[in-house]
Amino acid sequence: MLLEKKVCVITGAASARGIGKATARMFAAHGAHVVILDLDAGQAETAAAELGAGHLGIACNVTDRAACQKAADTTLERLGSIDVLVNNAGITQPLKLMEVGPENYDAVTDVNLRGTLYMSQAVVPQMRAQGSGSIVCMSSVSAQRGGGIFGGPHYSAAKAGVLGLQKAMARELGADNIRVNSVTPGLIQTDITGGKLTPELKVEIAKGIPLGRLGVADDIANACLFLASDLSAYITGAVIDVNGGMLIH
């Protein structure tokens, strides 16, 4: 198993059809002790319990630096280490440029970008003490192509910011043997997109994807597993596109 006895923290991982939950299942199947962070304590605990024994669910608002630190401290108290962090928590809003107000910008950038910074800051001291760690950041194809199908320009900006932050962290933390990489999903069928994708729209979107289908959460979970494990031991500062060829560059 690729993550035997590794302690892996995943933010925003309680949603039933989300990328975080799929990644949690994948990591647990490969021997990890998974820590699910989400806004609601009950949902986080339930999601962790569904994985079986040895996993934790902790309430955490990633936009609150103190909450991130508390989640990291609780993880260390209960499990003794933090080997992997997946910065998965994110929100999107389907707004046009002139519809984006201050409250929209703040909400989207706070969760997607500030949350990535705060949670990374919370785990880095332990990873430095251990002399090892892997941080996986969730960006988006919309950061690369200048907009997606459901996310507004403020979402693209936030996810582009994640790429810049990730690369800067990789450069700074390499000497500590902490690897930092990103995944850029294309259009993935999750709870966020589920209510908006009609059968007709799916067919139309798939015409523009060389592999001929929309992605599923496990497609992203597989990439996260690769980046979390020693299979990617000499990879840092990288961006892995998981979009079926929607964007080839």
- Cα separations (Å) of 17 from 81, 142, 178, 216? 28, 21, 30, 9
* Radius of gyration (C-alpha) of the chain in whole angstroms: 17
> Distance between CA atoms of 248 and 245, rounded to whole angstroms?
6
Beta bridge partners, 137, equal: 87, 182
At residue 195, the pLDDT reads 62
Residue pointed to by tokens 């923290």: 9
* Domains present along the chain, CATH in parentheses: 7-242 (3.40.50.720)
Q: Which residues are catalytic?
A: 155
Spell out the per-residue pLDDT of the chain, length 249, in tens: 999 999 999 999 999 999 999 999 999 999 999 999 999 999 999 999 999 999 999 999 999 999 999 999 999 999 999 999 999 999 999 999 999 999 999 999 999 999 999 999 999 999 999 999 999 999 999 999 998 778 999 999 999 999 999 999 999 999 999 999 999 999 999 876 656 678 888 888 899 999 999 999 999 999 999 999 999 999 999 999 999 999 998
